[in-house]
Amino acid sequence: MATPLVASSTSTIPSSTATTGQIKVEFSGGLELLFANQRSVTLPLPLPTTTSTSTLATPPTVGDLVTYLVNTAMVDPRKELFVVDGAVRPGILVLINEADWELEGEEEYQLCDGDTVLFVSTLHGG
């Protein structure tokens, strides 16, 4: 919601500190089954993207991370269980450093070194 104070329109300076480092990505609530039973993976920043969607000029966002996960990291062919119409499937919660991603700007959140992003499914049995 609240965009970071960085004026994104004039971010010509690729702040190298913000875009390098590593993040932790966690899966739970059954989502780990879609990612070869891994509950946690560490990814470098910038993301090892195969597609050229994100440029080096801006730090990768959670949206970029989702794209990376679904295109590259996800081994299970049932992509629709993770992403529907280009967005994280309704019913999957995303926590950025333990906070609801709704409080952090959702897909727009810019990843920093040391961040933890957790994807939890609420869709599995009761």
Partner 1 sequence: MSPPTSTAAPSSAPTTPQPTSTRLCAHCKLSRPKIQRAKTRDRLCVPCFLHIFELEIHQTITSTNLFQRGDHIAIGASGGKDSTVLAAVLKTLNDRYDYGIKFTLLSIDEGIKGYRDDSLETVKRNAVQYEMPLVIVSYRELYGWTMDEVVQQIGKKGNCTVCGVFRRQALDRGAERLGVSHVVTGHNADDMAETVLMNLLRGDLPRLHRCTAILTASSSSPVRRSKPLKYAYEKEIVLYAHHRKLDYFSTECLYSPEAFRGSARALIKSLERVRPSAILDVVRSGESFVAMVPPEISGVAPSQPNTTATPVVLPPPPPPQQADDDPNAHCGGESGGEMAAFEKQLRENEEATHRETEVKLPQIRKKQKMKQTLMNCRKCGYMSSQELCKACVILEDLNKHRAKLGVQVELDEVEEEAKEGVRRKMEALELRKSVETDTGTDAKE
Contacting positions for partner 1 (CB under 8 A): 2, 28-30, 33, 89-91, 93, 95, 98-100, 102-103, 118, 120-126
Please say which residue, 1 or 7, places its beta carbon nearer to partner 1: 1
Instruction: Name residue 61's beta-bridge partners.
Output: 110
Please say which residue, 54 or 121, places its beta carbon nearer to partner 1: 121
HSE-CB of 59 using CA atoms within 13 angstroms? 25
Q: At 116, which helix (H) or strand (E)?
A: strand 116-121
- E strand intervals along 4-101: 21-28, 40-45, 83-84, 87-88, 92-96, 99-100
Shortest Å distance, C-beta 76 to partner 1: 13
Shortest Å distance, C-beta 79 to partner 1: 16
Shortest Å distance, C-beta 46 to partner 1: 27
